Chain A
């Protein structure tokens, strides 16, 4: 806010921020380092901030106890399909709501917005019954179809609509004079301009799908169908207690790749998400 910050205030601000950072950064550090410690050391006192000896066999156990590669693939491909599908559906719907005049547009928009009011937890019981009747329980279809077409994609549609509303009308007029139809105006003119909005839709859709937990545990029942969040909780001993070192190793394998992508592309991430929901 102020152009000049005194050196003393600067030191104080850095100090406050470093202390505040602890609960944000330390858990990730603790997850990675603890996963590398031998089981006898993970509850050692005093706590070892840096492992004193390493045990890499934990990581091989992650793959021995469960079909972890398969589960990783399940999560990754479901998130990818849901992300691409949501981008297509929501950009089309968002474009129509923002730029095309058609009968009952307002009524349809209100119906679609209802999806924002009805969290998928509310409809989980009937959705389970519907997919049971369709023979799709213990398949990935519910985790793909519901997010793309159902309530979770409504927010994406809303974000896309907010973006397309801001496009200058002259662009489309010009395209129209050149003889372009609606679909071509959409794919050749509007969509290429919508990259920032599409990027933020992609990011939060991916994270949403990647983190789904209630739906997988309701719909999936066999280990080779599980997604990662569900699989992580399955590393338990004979008494149902967590095998901490293995859980932490699997958690590290789950969290690190996304974290690395984030650090590389953090500017797009943060700015993309800031872009979302702001201009309302």
Chain B
């Protein structure tokens, strides 16, 4: 990784033989990374150790008790009937989000890759929700999705009576996924667009001469060549989907029932609404394990699904 400074020549400026270029570089390297490294230790590694330590305790802030209980919180995790529902909701949310996000992003990128007049305007508009404040975006969608809101109003002008989107289990889940996808799909769209523009045009020329239809060209040329980007975006999107909190908090508060209570929201409720910091920490460890396993699995998969690596 570090680019070698092979030609370390003796330098006129060096005053003492101890401070060779290599030594001075080592010192400079440590000083340059020190703020980041200390930050990671203080704000990531120590908290990670603490969260594990907390997870071995029963901790009630209101009663001011902090007692070591070993694996009890983890047994509670196994027996928590709500948790199964929460994990189910998390899985549906993440899977739905990733599939919808990546396919829409790819579709938009292919459309924007066409040579059409005014295409930059479309690109700007498709991207614009990314820069709209997340909670503002969520509030206006919540407003649109009310029983008597804009979407049902439009539907009614066509004689269709829409559901109470955020108050029924299936439509609530669909709503939170859709709101999140339209907010952020522009990022993946731009990454795909850049990848598509990197595919050599000659390949399509050759395929056309061979008489390959457009769909086959896409399947056999485009997809393999942009597979590194697909892997990258799917990792970013999955990990991002596990962190979704504001949308749930504003749109559904996890409801109806537990149908949209994803793991992060459940963690927040347990720790900061019910003040079960011990159990909340156990849920944090679970979240960490899921993120780590998913990232690792996708990284392992790269050999099978990624056509080449740059």
Q: Is the A/B pair a real complex?
A: yes
The count of A-to-B residue pairs whose CB atoms sit within 8 angstroms is 335
Query: Is B124 touching A266 in the complex (CB atoms < 8 A)?
Result: yes
Query: Is A277 touching B54 in the complex (CB atoms < 8 A)?
Result: no
Query: Is B3 touching A92 in the complex (CB atoms < 8 A)?
Result: no
- CB neighbours of B3 from chain A (8 A): 98-99, 101, 165, 169
Query: Is B250 touching A24 in the complex (CB atoms < 8 A)?
Result: no
- The verdict on A146 contacting chain B, using a C-beta distance below 8 Å, is yes
- CB neighbours of A248 from chain B (8 A): 139-140, 143
Known: A179-B11, A248-B139, A254-B133. A130 touches B47 (CB 8 A): yes
- CB neighbours of B51 from chain A (8 A): 122-123, 125-126
Nearest B residue to A25 via CB reads B125
Query: Is B36 touching A279 in the complex (CB atoms < 8 A)?
Result: no
- The verdict on A273 contacting chain B, using a C-beta distance below 8 Å, is yes
B266-299 at interface with A (beta carbon < 8 Å) = 267-268, 271-272, 277, 280-281, 284-285, 287-288, 291-292, 295
Give A118-140 as 1s and 0s: 1 = Cβ < 8 Å from B's Cβ atoms: 11011111111110000000000
- The verdict on B163 contacting chain A, using a C-beta distance below 8 Å, is no
B125-181 at interface with A (beta carbon < 8 Å) = 125-137, 139-144, 146, 148-150, 153-154, 156-157, 178
- The verdict on A154 contacting chain B, using a C-beta distance below 8 Å, is yes
Give A88-125 as 1s and 0s: 1 = Cβ < 8 Å from B's Cβ atoms: 01101101111111110110110110110111011111
Q: How many angstroms between the C-alpha atoms of A16 and B27 in the bound complex?
A: 58
- CB neighbours of A20 from chain B (8 A): 108, 111, 126
- The verdict on A251 contacting chain B, using a C-beta distance below 8 Å, is yes
- If over half of B's interface residues share one DSSP class (helix, strand or loop), that class is named, otherwise mixed; here it is helix
Nearest B residue to A45 via CB reads B153
With a 10 A CB-CB cut-off, give which of B129, B285, B292 has the most chain A CB atoms: B129
- CB neighbours of A263 from chain B (8 A): 124, 128
Could you say which of A3, A47, A96, A229 contacts B115, with CB atoms under 8 Å apart? A3
A146-160 at interface with B (beta carbon < 8 Å) = 146, 148-151, 153-154, 157
- CB neighbours of B11 from chain A (8 A): 176, 179
Q: Please report the total number of B residues contacting A with Cβ < 8 Å.
A: 111
Chain A residues at the B interface, C-beta cutoff of 8 Å: 1-3, 5, 10, 13-14, 16-17, 20-21, 23-25, 27-28, 30-31, 34, 42-43, 45-47, 89-90, 92-93, 95-103, 105-106, 108-109, 111-112, 114-115, 117-119, 121-130, 145-146, 148-151, 153-154, 157, 165, 169, 172-173, 176, 179, 181-183, 186, 207, 210-211, 213-214, 217-218, 228-230, 232-233, 242, 244, 247-248, 251-252, 254-255, 258-259, 261-263, 266, 269-270, 273-274, 277-280
Chain B residues at the A interface, C-beta cutoff of 8 Å: 1-5, 7, 9, 11-13, 22, 24-30, 32-33, 35-40, 42-48, 50-51, 54, 108, 111, 113-116, 122-137, 139-144, 146, 148-150, 153-154, 156-157, 178, 182, 186-187, 190-191, 193-195, 201, 204, 217, 228-229, 232, 236, 239, 242-243, 245-246, 249-250, 264, 267-268, 271-272, 277, 280-281, 284-285, 287-288, 291-292, 295, 310
